[in-house]
Structure formats: structure tokens, C-alpha cells
């Protein structure tokens, strides 16, 4: 009897091994037969202030979904919107609120909040400004640094190019619709503004608070310094929204990227340097 039991046990073990090998073969066969996800390419264009944030978000997204590639072109907000309407890009990067006539046919989603910093050189003696003083500087009513606590020297105003979302947001909040002084030097791109301010002790400009270079500093405005806490508490006077604009009924891959940016992983990346939307 014991011999028969031993033989039966060995037969059962062989059956089990056979079933296991069959299952592994079936699993490997099914895996090998699975088709790879089709490649996806997304085109984005717009605000220079949003470029570094979107590059980081795009990097995290394409790492998670390796079949996706993303190209980002920093052309300025207005040109980004034009490219979206012309079908040249899938997403426009917009660093200001959309005007009513720009909203037709588009979906606009707020992904972050940014403080527009007022930049001066580290060598500048001025330690803060009020909104009224800032408006008068950019409108050309205040011409000398000595009028706001600095040295007896001409103020060199730097402004952004036409079509810049940062410029539109700054002018809407500060200049009250008045034209920026004709003596202002027009500078293309937030990075260029910071570089010129750092090199010129008499210059003043504005850019995203996340991109203050060495040699420059952000002035407190109305007694409040730009920073994540001030943005979160809505205390800083110059806060603007970062927006992703898409066509209505956009492709599902476009919507998937926007959902990622608004999701926990995307908002963790946003929160490193900007106010979170969620």
C-alpha cells in the first residue's frame, strides 16, 4: 500500500509541475502577443514664464508613459494662443487670464498661481516699493531712484514684449491701463529681464518670482515679499494664474496630460515653486 501511495504522490507532483509550466508558457505567450501602445506626440507653445514648469511636468509624464513625447516652444502667451487656434499645437501655455474674445472654442484650466516679482540689482539701495510708486516708475512719472529712497541716478525701466502674458498681467494690475514709459527697454523673455537687471544697478523689471537670478533680488511690494506663502494666502499684490488652454473636445491624450498636471503627482511638482491649483 505504501508503494502505491508513493507512486501516486510522485504522479501528482509531476502533474502540478506540468500545470505550472503550462501556465508560465501561456503567460509568456500572452505577454509577447500584447501590442505596444501607439506612440503619442504632444505640441505645446506659449508663455516663457511657464516653460521651466511645463518642462518638469512633461519630463515626469513621459517618464511614466514612455510612449509619449512632448515638445514645448516658449513663444509668449499670445503666439501660443494663435498657434492653438491655427491647429499648430495641442496646448497653449497662458500666463494671464484669457480675454472674453479669446475664450471661444477653448477650454482653459488653471494649473498654478505665480507671483510677478519686481526685480532690481543686488547693488540697488531701494529695499521696497508701494504699488503707487511702482506704477509711477513704469508710467514715467518717477524718473530718479532718489525719489523712492535710492541714489541720485536715472531709473532704467525694463518691460516685456508685446504679446507677453507677464506684461499683460503686470499692466492690468499696476499701470491702470496707462502706457508704459516710452523710455522703457523692451526685453523678450523673463530670463532676459533677470539677466539685464543683474548686470545693471539702475534697472528695474518684472518676471516670474521663480526665476530670480544671481545678482538680482525681488523687492517687497506694499510690504509683502513674493513667495509661496504670500501667494497661498493671497497677500502679494501681483499674483497671476498659469493656464493650460486646449481646444474644446480635445484629443483624449491631451486631456490625459491635463489630468496628470491637476492630479496629485503634477501638483506636487507645481507646489515646489508655485502656488498649487489643487
Q: Is the pLDDT of residue 25 over 70?
A: no
Cell of 43: 505640441
- 258 exposed, middle or buried (CB, 10 Å; 0-12, 13-18, 19+)? middle
User: pLDDT-derived band of residue 157, with 50, 70 and 90 as boundaries?
Assistant: very high
Average pLDDT rounded to a whole number, residues 174-197: 89
User: Superfamily for 40-112+240-276?
Assistant: Periplasmic binding protein-like II (3.40.190.10)
Total length of the chain: 278
Write down the domain spans for the chain. 40-112+240-276, 115-232
pLDDT in tens, 37-48: 899 999 999 999
pLDDT tens-digit readout, 207-229: 999 879 999 999 999 999 999 99
Looking at per-residue confidence, does 50 or 27 come out higher? 50
Mean pLDDT, range 105-125, rounded to an integer: 97
Whole-prediction pTM:
0.84
Burial 113-135 (b: 16+ CB within 10 A, else e): bbbbbbbbbeebebeebeeebbb
Give me the pLDDT at residue 211, please.
76
User: Cα torsion at 129, 219, 95, 76 (round to 10°)?
Assistant: 100
Q: Report how far apart the first and last C-alpha atoms of the chain are (Å, whole number).
A: 72
Q: Is the pLDDT of residue 178 over 90?
A: no
Helix residue spans in the chain (DSSP H)? 2-33, 51-64, 77-85, 131-139, 165-173, 190-199, 228-232, 252-262, 264-271
Residue 117 has pLDDT above 70, yes or no: yes
CA diameter of the chain: 112
- The pLDDT value given to residue 190: 86
Highest averaged pLDDT of the listed ranges 173-182, 187-196, 249-258: 249-258
Looking at the chain, the whole-number percentage of residues with pLDDT higher than 90 is 81
Over 50: is that where the pLDDT of 3 sits? no
Other CB atoms within 10 Å distance of the CB of residue 174: 23
Give the per-residue pLDDT at 29.
52
pLDDT value for 6:
39
Q: Please, what is the average pLDDT of the chain?
A: 89
Distance (Å) of CA 15 to CA 5, 9, 10, 18, 156 = 15, 10, 9, 5, 87
Report the Cα 168 to chain-centroid distance in Å: 17
Strand partners, 208: 116
Tally Cβ neighbours within 10 Å of residue 64: 10
Res 124 pLDDT > 80? yes
pLDDT on residue 16: 55
Percentage of the chain modeled with pLDDT above 70: 88
The rounded Cα 246 to chain-centroid distance in angstroms is 15
Mind listing the pLDDT tens digit for each residue in 66-114?
999 999 999 999 999 999 999 999 999 999 999 999 999 999 999 999 9
Q: Which CATH architecture has domain 115-232?
A: 3-Layer(aba) Sandwich (3.40)
- Helix-strand-coil percent breakdown of the chain, rounded to 5? 40, 25, 35
Q: What is the mean pLDDT of residues 28-43?
A: 74
Amino acid at each position: 500500500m505504501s508503494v502505491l501511495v508513493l507512486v501516486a504522490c510522485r504522479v501528482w507532483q509531476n502533474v502540478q509541475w506540468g500545470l505550472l509550466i503550462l501556465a508560465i508558457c501561456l503567460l509568456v505567450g500572452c505577454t509577447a502577443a500584447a501590442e505596444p501602445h501607439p506612440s503619442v506626440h504632444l505640441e505645446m507653445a506659449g508663455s516663457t514664464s511657464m516653460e521651466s514648469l511645463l518642462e518638469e511636468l512633461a519630463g515626469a509624464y513621459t517618464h511614466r508613459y514612455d510612449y509619449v513625447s512632448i515638445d514645448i516652444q516658449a513663444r509668449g502667451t499670445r503666439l501660443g494662443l494663435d498657434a492653438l487656434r491655427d491647429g499648430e499645437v495641442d496646448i497653449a501655455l497662458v500666463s494671464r487670464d484669457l480675454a472674453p474674445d479669446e475664450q471661444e472654442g477653448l477650454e482653459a484650466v488653471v494649473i498654478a498661481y505665480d507671483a510677478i516679482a519686481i526685480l532690481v540689482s543686488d547693488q540697488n539701495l531701494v529695499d521696497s516699493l508701494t504699488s503707487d510708486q511702482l506704477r509711477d516708475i513704469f508710467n514715467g512719472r518717477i524718473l530718479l531712484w532718489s525719489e523712492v529712497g535710492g541714489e541720485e541716478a536715472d531709473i532704467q525701466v525694463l518691460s516685456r514684449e508685446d504679446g507677453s502674458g507677464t506684461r499683460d498681467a503686470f499692466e492690468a494690475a499696476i499701470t491702470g491701463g496707462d502706457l508704459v514709459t516710452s523710455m522703457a527697454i523692451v526685453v523678450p523673455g523673463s530670463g532676459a529681464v533677470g539677466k539685464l537687471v543683474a548686470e545693471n544697478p539702475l534697472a528695474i523689471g518684472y518676471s516670474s518670482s521663480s526665476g530670480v537670478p544671481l545678482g538680482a533680488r525681488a523687492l517687497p511690494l506694499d510690504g509683502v515679499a513674493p513667495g509661496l506663502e504670500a501667494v497661498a494666502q493671497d497677500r502679494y499684490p501681483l499674483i497671476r494664474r498659469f493656464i493650460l488652454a486646449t481646444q474644446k473636445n480635445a484629443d483624449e491624450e491631451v486631456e490625459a496630460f491635463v489630468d496628470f498636471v491637476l492630479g496629485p503627482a503634477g501638483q506636487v511638482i507645481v507646489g515646489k515653486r508655485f502656488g498649487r491649483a489643487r
